[in-house]
């Protein structure tokens, strides 16, 4: 059942966006990213998607990300590892459903959708669990401004 949650909705959305001609030619269907498998994050709109076979399979979902001085980096990164119930030692905080994509500890995880982070990407409980269940080590995370 991997990657099926939200597929019908996301596929319909992608078709509308592509038909309307609003998505850039290089974008994965329904997202501002060019990756084929993984996750897409758009910092300026505080949105994230799962991408499967070049199309949005889940999302967009709301996120918060790094505060000034702790910005979430842009670029394309591999999913490095996943930890279901992690704990941030530097910030003394829980990090449920962590999906790490940088070697210095930046991850998608469940967190506040109102408070900015120290670089991580906060998701709602449901979205964090879905990202955790559907992102695989080695897939890509593309972060665009």
Domain boundaries in the chain? 7-144
- Tens of pLDDT, residue by residue over 93-130, are 999 999 999 999 999 999 999 999 999 999 999 999 99
Q: Which of 33, 40, 65, 109 is catalytic?
A: 109
- Tens of pLDDT, residue by residue over 65-101, are 999 999 999 999 999 999 999 999 999 999 999 999 9
Q: Which of 33, 40, 65, 120 is catalytic?
A: 120
Q: If you classify domain 7-144 with CATH, what class do you get? A: mainly beta
Distance CA 33, CA 24 (A): 9
pTM as predicted: 0.83
Residue 109 annotated among the catalytic residues of the structure: yes
Residue 53 annotated among the catalytic residues of the structure: no
CB 144 within 8 A of CB 74: yes
One DSSP character per residue, 53-90 reads: TTEEEEEEEE-B-BPTTSPPPPEEEE--EEEEEEEETT
Residue 138 burial by Cβ neighbours in a 10 Å radius (0-12, 13-18, 19+): exposed
Distance CA 101, CA 139 (A): 9
């Amino acid at each position: 059942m991997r990657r099926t949650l939200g597929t019908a909705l996301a596929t319909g959305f992608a078709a509308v966006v592509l038909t309307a001609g609003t998505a850039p030619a290089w974008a994965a269907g329904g997202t501002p990213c060019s990756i084929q498998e993984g996750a897409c994050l758009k910092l300026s709109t505080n949105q994230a998607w799962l991408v499967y076979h070049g199309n949005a399979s889940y999302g967009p979902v709301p996120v918060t990300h790094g505060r000034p001085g702790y910005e979430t980096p842009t670029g394309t990164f591999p999913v490095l590892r996943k930890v279901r119930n992690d704990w941030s030692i530097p910030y003394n905080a829980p990090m449920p459903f962590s999906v790490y994509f940088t070697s210095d500890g930046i991850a998608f995880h469940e967190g506040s959708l109102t408070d900015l982070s120290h670089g991580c990407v906060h998701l709602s409980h449901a979205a964090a669990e879905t990202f955790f269940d559907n992102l695989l080590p080695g897939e890509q995370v593309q972060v665009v401004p």
